Amino acid sequence: MSARPRPLSPHLGVYRWQIGNTLSILHRITGVGLGVGLLALSYWLISLAGGEETYRTAARLFASPVGLVCLFGWTFSFLFHLFNGLRHLCWDVGVGFERTQRHASGWIAVFAAVCATLAAWALLWHGGRL
Amino acid sequence: MAWRAAVSLRSPLGRVLGAGSARAGTAHWWAQRVSAVALIPLTLWFFWSLLLLPTLDYATVRTWLSVPLSALLAVLLVAVTAYHSYLGTNVVVEDYVHAHSAKLFLAVLLRFLYVLCAGAGIFAILRIAFLP
Exposure letters A19-57 (e unless 16+ CB within 10 A, then b) = eeeebeebbbebbebbbebbebbbbbbbbbbeeeeebee
Contact between A34 and A81 under an 8 Å Cβ cutoff? The reply is: yes
Nearest of A38, A19, A37, A25 to residue A109 by alpha carbon: A19
Partner B contacted by A98 (CB < 8 A): no
What ipTM does the predicted assembly reach? 0.89
**Average model confidence (pLDDT) across chain A:** 92
Q: Which residues of B touch A42 (CB under 8 A)?
A: 78, 117-118, 120-121, 124
Q: What is the mean pLDDT of residues B5-17?
A: 67
Residue of chain A whose Cα is closest to the Cα of B89: A32
CB contact under 8 A, B124 and A41: no
Q: For residue B102, what are the CA distances in angstroms to A35, B42, B92?
A: 20, 34, 13
Cα first-last separation, chain A: 65
Using DSSP, state whether A58 is helix, strand or coil.
Answer: helix
Q: What is the pTM of this model?
A: 0.86
Nearest of B53, B68, B56 to residue B126 by alpha carbon: B68
Phi, psi (5° rounding) for residue A64? -70, 160
- Give the number of beta-carbon pairs within 8 Å between A and B: 81
Nearest CB to B36: which of A55, A56, A89? A89
Residues in A 32-91 with any Cβ partner in B closer than 8 A? 32, 34-35, 38-39, 41-42, 45-46, 48-49, 52, 55-56, 59, 78, 82, 85-86, 88-89
Quickly state the pLDDT bin for B16 (edges 50, 70, 90): low
Looking at the predicted structure, is the pLDDT value of residue B97 above 60?
yes
What digits encode the pLDDT tens for the residues B31-65? 999 999 999 999 999 999 999 999 999 999 999 99
Residue A15: alpha-carbon gap to chain centroid: 23
Between A130 and A111, the higher pLDDT residue: A111
Give the pLDDT confidence score for residue B22 in this predicted structure: 60
Give the pLDDT confidence score for residue A126 in this predicted structure: 87
Percent of chain B with pLDDT over 90: 74
Q: What is the mean pLDDT of residues B106-130?
A: 97
Between B78 and B132, the higher pLDDT residue: B78
